[in-house]
Amino acid sequence: MNKKYKIGYTSGVFDLFHIGHLNILKRSKELCDYLIVGVNTDELVETYKKKRTVISFEERIAIVESIKYVDQVIAQKNLDKMEVWNNHKFDAVFIGSDWKGSQRWKDTEEILKTVGADVVYLPYTINTSSSILKETLDKINRAE
């Protein structure tokens, strides 16, 4: 099957790995021959989310590396997609549709357009997220 892109890229925290994570990796791979996945470092997550991950960076990398849709995993040390493009020359970056229209991603679209790379918004998996899982675990722990 001929795929739309040769090299694709997506990134995320991938904490408390769930079906939404799997969906974005699967959908990304359906659109490209070679999928590179950036796993956000613990330091990066603390910088922009102002919280700590539950699962360590090393374990999150190991989980993502084991997914059959993933061809390569890299450490995502900052949010600069142009830096990733400079190192890996991807044709498209894949992101959940929940980010569409945000200023950060409008800016990313403009920057990547200058090098011919697309931003592709994939359907967001509703009703599941690591934040929801953490909240549920907190409620269970408080009830005990």
Number of helical (H) and strand (E) elements in the chain, helices listed first: 6, 5
* 3 in active site: no
Q: Which of 49, 89, 106, 113 is catalytic?
A: 49
> Which of 96, 12, 94 has its CA nearest to residue 55?
12
Q: Which of 51, 89, 106, 113 is catalytic?
A: 51
Give the dihedral of Cα atoms 72, 76, 82, 87; nearest 10 deg: -50
Tokens of 86: 């400079």
CA end-to-end span of the chain: 52
Amino acid symbol at 20: G
Give the dihedral of Cα atoms 31, 109, 14, 30; nearest 10 deg: 0
* 26 in active site: no
| Cβ-contact 28, 107 below 8 angstroms | no
Catalytic machinery residues: 49, 51
